[in-house]
Structure 1
Amino acid sequence: MTSKTVAVLPGDGIGPEVLDAALPVIDALGLPITLEHGDIGWEFWRTEGTPVPQRTWDLIGRSDAVLLGATTSKPGREALADLEPHLRERAPQYVSPIIQLRQRLDLFANLRPVESYLGGTPYRFCVVRENTEGLYAGLDWDRVPEEMWPLVADHPNARISGREATTASVRMLTRHGLDRILRFAFEHARAHGHPRVTLADKPNVLRQSSAYARERLEEIAADYPEIEYEILNVDAVALWMARRPERFGVIVAENMFGDILSDLGGGVMGGLGLAPSANIGENGNYFEPVHGSAPALAGTGRANPIAAFLTVGLLLEHLGFGEAAGQVRDAVSHVTRRRDRVTYDLGGSATTAECAASVLDACRAVPRAHTAAVVTVGDELLRAVLEDSNAGEASRRLAARAVPVRIRHTVGDDEAAIADAVRSSIGRDDVVVVMGGLGPTSDDVTRVGVARAVGSPLEHREEAWRGVVERLTRFGVAVHEDNRRQALFPEGAELLPNANGTAWGCRLDVRGTTVVMLPGPPRECLPMLDAFLRDGIAHLPEPEPVATVFRRTLGVIEADAAAAVDALVRELGLRVKPAYRWHYPYVDIRIDCPPESAAELAKRLDDALGAYTVTGRERTAVQELAELLDTRGLALVADDKVTGGRFAAELAAERRPAGDQEPSGRMSVTLDAAWDGGGPQDHTGTVRLLCTAHEGARERAGELTVPNRGPEVVAYAVQFAAWTIARRLVEETA
């Protein structure tokens, strides 16, 4: 690969932070790019009287591309006041670095890609904005010039106000400017597979200038016959960008309209923290995340580096490193769709550095976990007329195939609700399983909802129709016209035959997500799901191998356990999310981690919470004690003043029958309690549980104070007694 030089201009505010976070991706991808840093921004205006020193222009001149962080601009009066005193006297005029770069390098095209990085209905389009003319051509007056007055004097408001109280701006469109921006738009569409170019203007009001723009559009479009084109009112484009962004390919507009639409595109994506940009011209270029310098965020570690990564991706593509640019976009897509290490503006809590590290990990092809979503459909499920057993069964089966369920939805027989549930996981989860609502009746609307979510029309599939007819005929059931609904599937879907019913299923691959549509009866859908999981997810990359560290604890509250575990996970530098489950009287701790970290994590966990650990298995203290007593052949006699015999009964239920074999030893246990502020019937205050075990001359004792919260404290006493005895037996063996 040919080596390239990039001028890096960090700029102001968060600019240096986001570039520092994103630029390591170039080394991570092993690209032959030399980075040379230069000076730009407010500090150089303040101390040197120019925000772009000559040395920076020299650097730009010898570079293949320019990467800009962000710059601060202020109005003229504030800019002058901020100058060093010795510079203020000559009153230099402040011109923003952005304007200087665009004018000096003749950067006529501003490119703003817009893509569905946060999931939902897939879309991928871009806004191409003309930078040099339109309403931003500089033809703007605080009062109408005398020579222009005859052109506006007949307007009633101008007649009333007079020339001295009337301002004016001219929207200038030229053949040169229109032709080169339109050709840029069509070339970009051709290079990136966009099927349509939309010119966003105002032909219903700006009739003459828009008509000329249409003429130029039609002439340029003739050179690109494979690409559709249209001219639409800019306000309609704004509406459809927000409502149906998937309909667009390349949107091209004059300067002011493009300025507005490009920021709207950032909003459609989820915020300017995701918005990259490129400015391309006859004599140079620069690439910039468009979130601005955001001085309030500077130094807080909260700035979102995603836009900087995507901007680097645009730069790499421009320099000819297309494959690497694709890796950056894929890495960003992975991080944003999972949202486990994203910054506050995307709903996360990661710092700039943590979010950047997750993108870099993805760029290095670090193996990742897969996730699934389950959508079960039916009004009867919402009304609890039927138990939603399918959701649990699907979750178990998916987890067994290393695709755990991230989220489950139960929705009614409502097309919009089904579409919303499915759409929210497209581009985010690897698999979406939709179950129910595929029958022949009018309330079976799942196929319509799924088609709406994936943006595909329904089509009749003769193979499925033949299957419906054959099954109904075989069982002597009349074939109704309504049964034809069961042969409708989203266009391009792969059919999944149903061996036990008439409702066939299907699968579709949409933006990295496989959507599986299955019937509702468990006898039909579960075998179909098993077949899909056996044969239909081979396309998923192998998940990252994990080891599970599990501890069941007693005598510690969930918040205290979580604080201790979260702290040790941070100390070990593990990027894992511990899971906590409180089920009286236990707190379970489960941590899935890289296998190489499991031993150290387990050791640290035992150091922190060993005094409260009952077992490393998903078993109760009674079950652990029963196993120990059986192994040693010990009989146990309990003097139980607390549980009313429940302790002995539960223990006996877990023990293996000894047959005629005599016990090798006998252990006596005393279980007592002391109340503070309440009693066995007055559930208030606390209760101190006391357990003493005797085996010959050996005595084992333990005590624990717990809230006397209700009758269930007896269950606590049962497990506490078993834990006390089991722990002492294990300690003696050790």
Structure 2
Amino acid sequence: MAHNVCLIEGDGIGPEITAAVKRIIEAAGVSIDWRPVLAGVSAVEKAGTPLPPETILAIKETKVALKGPLATAIGKGFRSVNVGLRQELQLYANFRPARTIPGVKTRFEEVDLIVIRENTEGLYSGLEHTVVPGVVESLRVISEKASRRIAIFAFETARKYNRKTVTCVHKANILKLSDGLFLDTVNEVAKDYPDIELNDCIIDAAAMKLVMDPTQFEVLVMENLFGDIVSDLASGLVGGLGVTPSGNYGADVAIFEAVHGTAPDIAGKDLANPTALLLSATMMLKHLGEMDAADRMEGALLSVLQNPETRTGDLGGKLSTSQFADTVAEACAVGSSG
């Protein structure tokens, strides 16, 4: 039976990398009825708004979406569509694993950590206004409800992936009320998980420790802005945003996405690396119960990346986006027949 999945191709290189991922999923033998929906710049051009109501409705119906990168203007223009999707669909948990990829040279080996980011509030609540000319006030919202559900998600993630520790990242030494509430709530939730050790770490110290020795962490949980920064930092430890996946989870809806940029300088040139979106798609397939296909896709990808000759240009190889997709797809098919 085919799965119904919404597809947001995205801006810039989005259409190219989503096409590549669709090709590989098909080769893995998974049947998906793709439901194309609009968001971002293409939505403004065709529907007059960056996040049409029809898109939200469609994702609520299918309950699953795969999303390419979306452009967000800096300091002007429409509000971030990524933030809008998370808030409209209450995708409260952002799941960002960072794992060493064999063959991709980085400063560290054997990195295998998971960043869990609260996705719906904090400074991303978007509550800001001009007090007087030249003075702007932004409100950072932290609630017990949102802190509790992200803490539960983090501990459940630790159990699911057989991790022994969860680290709560915060700034409660300075933000005593807001981050104090977050830290207190995580501590309270931890009482229900006696099999998992809870640590806590101030955000600046956590950043230092990550770049010194990331292997000391397993699962990290934090509020929105800290999670945004730390998850990108963690990606940099294993090769960058081009090789790390992301999933956004709500109570009954999930969106899996590439978190890197739209790379307009190479859009349409068949040069983009689809690895991040492909790994996000393997997370999506596991969410859909397609465990075997997801494992074969990931195994095929990792085998292709180990050969310098079969990488895309950003990783020192010579393959185009479509050639890379064909190579991974062929490896998937071989794995399936074997």
**TM-score normalized by the length of structure 2:** 0.91
Q: What residue in structure 1 maps to residue 124 of structure 2?
A: 136
Shift of 1:259: 0.6
Gaps of 5+ in 2: none
Partner residue of 2:88 out of 104, 122, 134: 104
Partner Cα distance (1:278, 1:134) in 2: 19
The aligned runs of 1:218-367 (5 Å cut-off) are 218-365=187-334
Query: RCO higher in 1 or 2 (8 Å CA, sep ≥ 6)?
Result: 2
Q: What residue in structure 1 maps to residue 69 of structure 2?
A: 70
Shift of 1:269: 1.5
* Cα gap change, 1:47 to 1:366, in 2 (>3 Å): closer
Shift of 1:207: 3.1
Shift of 1:183: 0.5
Q: What residue in structure 2 maps to residue 7 of structure 1?
A: 6
Q: What residue in structure 1 maps to residue 45 of structure 2?
A: 46
Partner Cα distance (1:44, 1:167) in 2: 30
The aligned runs of 1:183-202 (5 Å cut-off) are 183-202=152-171
Shift of 1:57: 3.3
SS at match of 2:152: helix
Shift of 1:140: 2.5
The Cα offsets for residues 580-608 of structure 1, whole Å up to 9 and x where unpaired, read as xxxxxxxxxxxxxxxxxxxxxxxxxxxxx
User: Letter of the aligned partner of 1:169 in structure 2?
Assistant: S
Shift of 1:9: 1.3
Gaps of 5+ in 1: 80-93, 144-162, 368-540, 542-734
User: Letter of the aligned partner of 1:179 in structure 2?
Assistant: R
CA RMSD of aligned residues (A): 2.2
The aligned runs of 1:287-686 (5 Å cut-off) are 287-365=256-334
Q: What residue in structure 2 maps to residue 497 of structure 1?
A: none
SS at match of 1:364: helix
Q: Is the 8 A contact 1:4 1:64 kept in 2?
A: no
Shift of 1:345: 1.7
Partner Cα distance (2:254, 2:215) in 1: 29
User: Letter of the aligned partner of 2:80 in structure 1?
Assistant: S
Partner residue of 2:113 out of 116, 125, 137: 125
Partner Cα distance (2:98, 2:228) in 1: 14
Q: Is the 8 A contact 2:28 2:297 kept in 1?
A: no
Shift of 1:44: 2.5
Q: What residue in structure 1 maps to residue 100 of structure 2?
A: 116
The Cα offsets for residues 487-521 of structure 1, whole Å up to 9 and x where unpaired, read as xxxxxxxxxxxxxxxxxxxxxxxxxxxxxxxxxxx
Partner residue of 2:142 out of 167, 173, 178: 173
The Cα offsets for residues 208-227 of structure 1, whole Å up to 9 and x where unpaired, read as 43333222112111111111
* Cα gap change, 1:100 to 1:136, in 2 (>3 Å): closer
Q: What residue in structure 2 maps to residue 27 of structure 1?
A: 26
* Cα gap change, 1:358 to 1:243, in 2 (>3 Å): farther
Partner Cα distance (1:95, 1:277) in 2: 21
Shift of 1:47: 4.1
Shift of 1:332: 2.4
User: Letter of the aligned partner of 2:115 in structure 1?
Assistant: V
Partner Cα distance (1:340, 1:63) in 2: 39
SS at match of 1:167: strand
User: Letter of the aligned partner of 1:17 in structure 2?
Assistant: E
Shift of 1:76: 7.5
* Cα gap change, 1:283 to 1:103, in 2 (>3 Å): farther
Partner Cα distance (2:207, 2:306) in 1: 25
* Cα gap change, 1:10 to 1:356, in 2 (>3 Å): same
* Cα gap change, 1:347 to 1:243, in 2 (>3 Å): farther
Check if 1:18 corresponds to 2:17. yes
Partner Cα distance (1:240, 1:325) in 2: 32
Partner Cα distance (1:298, 1:341) in 2: 21
Shift of 1:241: 2.0
Q: Is the 8 A contact 1:105 1:282 kept in 2?
A: no
User: Letter of the aligned partner of 2:278 in structure 1?
Assistant: F
The Cα offsets for residues 413-450 of structure 1, whole Å up to 9 and x where unpaired, read as xxxxxxxxxxxxxxxxxxxxxxxxxxxxxxxxxxxxxx
User: Letter of the aligned partner of 2:297 in structure 1?
Assistant: V
Partner Cα distance (1:239, 1:339) in 2: 32
Q: Is the 8 A contact 1:142 1:167 kept in 2?
A: yes
Using the aligned pairs only, state the percent identity: 37
User: Letter of the aligned partner of 2:321 in structure 1?
Assistant: T
Q: Is the 8 A contact 1:105 1:283 kept in 2?
A: no
Shift of 1:39: 2.4
Q: Is the 8 A contact 2:130 2:137 kept in 1?
A: yes
Bigger Rg, structure 1 or 2 = 1
Partner Cα distance (2:215, 2:306) in 1: 18
Q: Is the 8 A contact 1:306 1:356 kept in 2?
A: no
User: Letter of the aligned partner of 2:303 in structure 1?
Assistant: H
The Cα offsets for residues 125-150 of structure 1, whole Å up to 9 and x where unpaired, read as 1111111122222232332xxxxxxx
